[in-house]
Structure 1
Amino acid sequence: MHREHSDIGPLLDSGTLTELRPLGEGGDQVFRSAPELRHAIEQRLGPDVAAALAIPQSDESGSRFDWYAPNPGTVRRWSSLAEDELATAKARLDEVERRITALADEMSRDDGSSKDVQRKRQSLARLLRQVMTYPDASHLFLVDHRPVIAFWGFSRRAESDPTAPLGDGITIGHPTDAQRMRPPPSLADRVSRLFSARKPRLLTVGAVGALLLLTLGLVLLRDRTENTAPDEPGAAADETPPGSQWPAPGEDEPGEPIVIPIDAIATGSTDFLTGQWRALGDQLTDNASGQPIQLTYRMQAGRGEVLVKEQDGTLCRADVTASFDGRVLVLTPLTDVRCPADSGLPPYYGVTVTCQPTTDQRSSCTGKYPDGEEVRVELLRQPD
């Protein structure tokens, strides 16, 4: 059962993804599965273990996060602890890590399930192994003598990290005492903010959530993704209308299939992507209507944005980054897809596109939804 509003703890930490790298596997990110991961840990390992993981709330853009303690209590920074307190807190965190690692090991073992269930168990195991990774000790807190981690499932970007989003640097700001005192939002509100109201149009239940239904017997919030209007229509979305910085994609523009240069694979450079691209596929559809959608990318040195064109002509956008995972090129949304304020469509999480070189010098590409479903797509370069 989810905790009631009165049991929610204080605000611990806040920040954006400017200098932090979300961890994950194959398009599944730890922080986007945070409620399911915490719930799985609580069910399998107990509430004391889950209480070591702060609860994230994202803003409408999906780029800024507040992290709340799971339980009420007095907050103390890691750096303020006495030596004996620090030793005790570290020992508790070590035990939490040991138990989560053991759960990951259990989930990764073949238990005789079907191949599909086993694949999802292994996906969960990979995410669990990254739960206890955090940028540094400034994101560790003691809440009534219990250690709590904020920004778990994140690491700090290296200065030369090619996947770093466009921006002027880190904007992590630890909350003031006054901010800590403000009433936290309800857990239901935080879940609905983290898992955007619009998501059923491009995805159903997350990969980890689907796995929990299959293997852990957990009950997830079915109504967290109802198609409701955002709380404040016309707020941030009015500031930068989606698609306003570059023209909408044409319907019949020709395109050349992507060819990934061998030297780009060797060096990890994504400069060859500079320009405009379209991702097309018969199965690349809006889940609500079943109608096809278009993804158009505009890239500069491996970073840029994606324009999503709905069947009704609505244009929505998100920031994206490109990187190599071995020989595989990955185009990953950095933020939720946002639509014009007058469309009445709340933000939602988009599709991760991956392309792998084939023997005929072309590439085989797929689009992956956050629920793990994969569909074939073509990635075509568009004329300038």
Structure 2
Amino acid sequence: MAKIILRSGYLDDFTALGENGQTIFDSAIQIRETLRLRKQLALLSCLAIPQRNDAHDKVDWYAPHEGVLTQWAYASEQQRTGALRYLENAVAAARTLSQRCLDADKIPVRLLGSLLTKVLHFPASQHIYLVDDKPVITFWGFASLNDTAREDILDCLRQPLLPEEVQPVEAAPQDALTAPEPEREIEKEQDIAEHVRVTLSQTDSPLLSSTMTPVTVMSEPPVVPATPLPVTGKAQSVWRQLLLKIALVGLLFIGLPLAWPHLSGFLFSPSASVVTPDSAKPAAASVIEQPEPPKPVVAMVLPVQKAEFVPPAPAVVAEQRKEPDAEQKAEKIPEAVVDKNALVLPAPEVKAGSVTFMNGRWKASIDVNNPLTSKPPGLRYQFKNGEGSILITRSNKVTCQAEVYSGLMLTGNLLIKSRSKAKCSDNSRYQVPEITCKQPLSGAAQCTGRYEDDTVVPMTISKVGN
């Protein structure tokens, strides 16, 4: 089974479809096996492989084959057209097989035929993925919450394609040449949205010419002042207010800088000769000294300080020169510490959706101490083509074993998890952490382990053998 995780979700978020009290999802494995035995490979490749968790409330959907993954929303027009044609053939094949099963004598075969009528139903377009340009359906046999099955299964996939086809509005210039423009001055107070609705719903109406009037007006300069001149009183008042505001702002920003030299001289001389209180002088001085005095004052003080502290100045420079060296050493230390056996997610295999780089024996170390045992348990993994096992050695020398598997998520992160708890030598059960690893720009992969109580701990994974 390919290990490309397409989508995960909870069963309570959807409505399960079925017949006679039996849902399609409960018979998903039997349906896929029946399609394989009947050699319905085209129909089988459209159905993703479901995998429940231990609580049976969440499902992971895997791709039935490996390849380049593309979401439906990011697929090109050519990819969507080919995938839609592929799904139409699959729907036709499912209906033919369903009718053949309904005509059978055995009751289980009839029940399977009734389930096949809705097997290709899915909640929405975001549940369709393209693997090597072939469509794969996740959450097949489900509908949106509190919703029923659609009459046309592929209706939601055709809707985005319709707006691009319905755009034949090229006959408008002929109507624009014959439509009388001067008689429509009464309609200028209507909302723009109303004009848009009229042009879309009544393509033959003379109102369509109003949208094309700018083209004819620009070709005839004398007509330009005739159309915008008849404006209502409200519009004229608004323009006047805007012009007044613009004029005031222009006076403030242009007139004040030009008049400031005269005003500053006028204000400065009477403040010294006529106004005698002390409160007026500091105010005038503060206004004048704000832009200029700080620069000369600082220039006068700095030479004195430099003259007094000439000896320590080179020491400071020396310390500053030493700091970059220390930083360079600190940056070089992590590069030298990186373990050559540390886990690295190779970009080519991640892009191809392959986990063959995990083949071999691996050791996972928890970077923090367990608060209960003071010594973290030892985790040993062994993988081959995505399937493997784990050996857990606890602090009390109790060993636990479980089956695990690895897979790649849509984000390119590596996921290592177990389908059940590990069986221990003292007949107890131990929770296997769910490990997620992501690849930074350089260096080893960054991994974290999540336990049942949502406790997340950092982990380091390194290879110990083939």
The TM-score range, normalised by the shorter chain, is 0.3 to 0.5
Larger RCO (alpha carbons 8 Å, 6+ apart): 1
Largest Rg, 1 or 2: 2
More helix by share: 2
